Amino acid sequence: MATILAIESSCDETAVAITRDGNLLANIVSTQIEVHRKYGGVMPEIASRLHAENIGVVLKEALETANIALDDIDAFAVTRGPGLIGALHVGLQAAKTLAMLYKKPLIPVHHLAGHIYANKYVDNFTYPLLAVVVSGGNTELVLMKDDLDFKVIAETRDDAIGECYDKVARVLGLPYPGGIPIDKLAKEGKHSYDLPTPLKGEKTLDFSYSGLKTNVINLVHNLEQKGEKVNVPDMCKSFQDVAVELVIDRTIKASKLYDVKEVILAGGVSANSYLRQRMTEEMNKLNIKINIPPMWCCTDNASMIAKVAEKLYDIKLFAPLNIGVDPNWSIEDWNKF
């Protein structure tokens, strides 16, 4: 094991974490949510500028929290992709500079691999496992038969589930990000609106959320044109039931098909209380181990990047210092750099 300093800057959180021999010494996150909320979503140019302003401050606080010096770091890890190009660039340049100055290895990490490995802070993995990756930009099922062995077996054909939550929240007049207010209001409502089940009847493990999103938007607009008021809690409940049950349905099918021993929730939407409840219920029925990340590790952070980097450090999978960002970097191939 080693002392790893990891940087995450793929979207709207500037984060630095430090681990030593697998133990988390510091996990500092500076979020930009309040800035982007006024725009109803992340503004890439603003995000990049804020990362540039915050990276030095976050780095200093992480080192002070861990009570170590940069000389003590064995390797610098960083999110290479996927993400916003400008935002990724800030983190990568910081990590490359530190690696060059201190003559230490540079370890690029895939953002989604980080979300999966965040669950290592809960328990060790049992293979084969199925990672259910649900976030603002991704919805996919990843099969793992061993450490760092990723195979995407299903993905969304259009919108990601988190993106759908944000767009539905916007049309309902709820704040960004939409996951928290919808989840909260759904607890107060009942399933009274008839919404379509995506890809109903199709023999596929894939996801689709564009039609569900469009149906909610059209239904809200039609009711408004008739002068009728939308029951927001009921709409939240109706929408969330359909959105989450699609994830549950695909997870059950994939778990049986690939005979997995463990199911992992990963990504920002894994913080959703209804998803956590339903996934636990169904996996218990199937006698499959369920691993759900702690709430502090659901959103973007650098501790998850450090956890992947520990494995990559052990096998000496380092990158040249001229490596660039790659928002389309495949989770299935670590040898492209």
- Encode pLDDT of 94-146 as tens digits: 999 999 999 999 999 999 999 999 999 999 999 999 999 999 888 999 999 99
Q: For 9-62, write each residue's pLDDT tens digit.
A: 998 889 999 999 999 999 999 987 777 777 777 777 888 898 899 999 999 999
Give CA–CA dist 63/186, Å, rounded: 41
Give CA–CA dist 56/23, Å, rounded: 23
CATH number at residue 91: 3.30.420.40
Which of 60-69, 239-248, 293-302 shows the lowest mean pLDDT across its residues? Answer: 293-302
Model pTM above 0.85: yes
Question: Is residue 75 located within the same domain as residue 165?
Answer: no
Proportion of the chain above pLDDT 70, given as a percent: 99
Question: Is residue 132 located within the same domain as residue 277?
Answer: yes
Q: How many domains does the chain have?
A: 2
Q: For 171-196, write each residue's pLDDT tens digit.
A: 999 998 899 999 999 999 999 999 99
Domain carrying residue 153: 125-292
To 10 degrees, the CA torsion angle through 117, 123, 127, 132? -50
Question: Is residue 142 located within the same domain as residue 107?
Answer: no
Question: Is residue 223 located within the same domain as residue 263?
Answer: yes
Residue of 117, 118, 133, 125 lying closest to 279 (CA atoms): 133
Give CA–CA dist 167/137, Å, rounded: 13
Question: Is residue 92 located within the same domain as residue 143?
Answer: no
Alpha helices per DSSP H over 289-334? 303-314
Question: Is residue 107 located within the same domain as residue 203?
Answer: no
My answer on whether omega of the bond before 196 falls inside 30° of 0, hence cis, is no
Question: Is residue 324 located within the same domain as residue 220?
Answer: no
